A = this chain, B = another copy of it.
């Protein structure tokens, strides 16, 4: 893995658009040298992204000469690179820096970038590139490996963060748990996984299943969810992943105040109880599963408001509820441990 990253977020250094940046800083802080955004140069990432402490935001590559890798730090809808960023990518290549990108538009397939990379002897790592060509088989699943899956009412609500925090807390409690990354950011954080939204749709459940089969020597897998059954563009990603990883238990993730899917302001999202019902229904089409806890993202509200909401959802759904960043994931760890005991009891 790369070691001295500068993360390009030019003009988009906010927690929503710069999801890749903020997660890399959160989980690989020691490998990040700076964030590159000329519109915020001179500041630090903490007030902008809520992570990173004194990590500097710089205005040019010159200001972070120790960086050896340029990471594209946003995940725009459709995954195209903003045209204005091309010059920065080329400049980085000319300095001998490797490029890491999670965009759908593969930078390595761009003739100009590819030629420059060859000339300067650097690597372009397109994290979403994959060659998944296997359909799901439903064979070989270990009954004594517990599969947990984070799902949500929308994309970009924190499913990856919840998955990582939960996995880390399970490990800290002595469990043999593994985070299964299914998106470009998770893959950069964990060092393995599958970019599930980039798989050919016939093979998407197969790709998720392969991740489970490859890692089920662990006791507990926490499979990062993608999108939402309620997202007008990405619901197929969500269902293919759900039906490929066949969870025993789901963690329902949501953001307080999110009332429409990202990019679709006119479309209302239903109440949480309805989201829970539909995810359980669609999971159970293939395998018995239920939602065992709720992870709320309370980033935009006060601690008091978060606590009120926590009580409200707890009462309404009768489930453990927490913000894994604000409260820590202890309640979810307990819910997973409880489900694991129940599942082990039922294994012959």
**Chain A contacts to B: CB under 8 angstroms:** 77-79, 104, 133-138, 196-202, 204-206, 229-230, 232-237, 239-241, 243, 264, 267, 278, 281-282, 285-286
Cα-based distance from A204 to B237 in the complex (angstroms): 9
Closest to A228 in B: B285
Tell me which residues across on chain B come within 8 A of A233, comparing CB atoms: 135-137, 202, 205-206
Tell me which residues across on chain B come within 8 A of A240, comparing CB atoms: 201, 235-236
Tell me which residues across on chain B come within 8 A of A201, comparing CB atoms: 196-201, 204, 236-237, 240
Closest to A130 in B: B200
With A78-B134, A135-B78 in contact, do A285 and B198 touch (Cβ < 8 Å)? no
CB distance from A106 to the nearest CB of B (A): 11
CB distance from A270 to the nearest CB of B (A): 8
CB distance from A72 to the nearest CB of B (A): 17
- Residue from B137, B206, B234, B239 in contact with A202 in the complex, judged by beta carbons closer than 8 Å: B234
Cα-based distance from A289 to B137 in the complex (angstroms): 32
CB distance from A76 to the nearest CB of B (A): 11
Cα-based distance from A55 to B229 in the complex (angstroms): 47
Tell me which residues across on chain B come within 8 A of A133, comparing CB atoms: 78, 104
Are B200 and A199 touching (Cβ within 8 A)?
A: yes
Are B243 and A285 touching (Cβ within 8 A)?
A: no
Tell me which residues across on chain B come within 8 A of A264, comparing CB atoms: 138
Tell me which residues across on chain B come within 8 A of A202, comparing CB atoms: 79, 104, 197-198, 233-234, 237
CB distance from A230 to the nearest CB of B (A): 6
Tell me which residues across on chain B come within 8 A of A200, comparing CB atoms: 104, 197-201
CB distance from A334 to the nearest CB of B (A): 31
Closest to A206 in B: B233
- Residue from B136, B232, B278 in contact with A205 in the complex, judged by beta carbons closer than 8 Å: B232
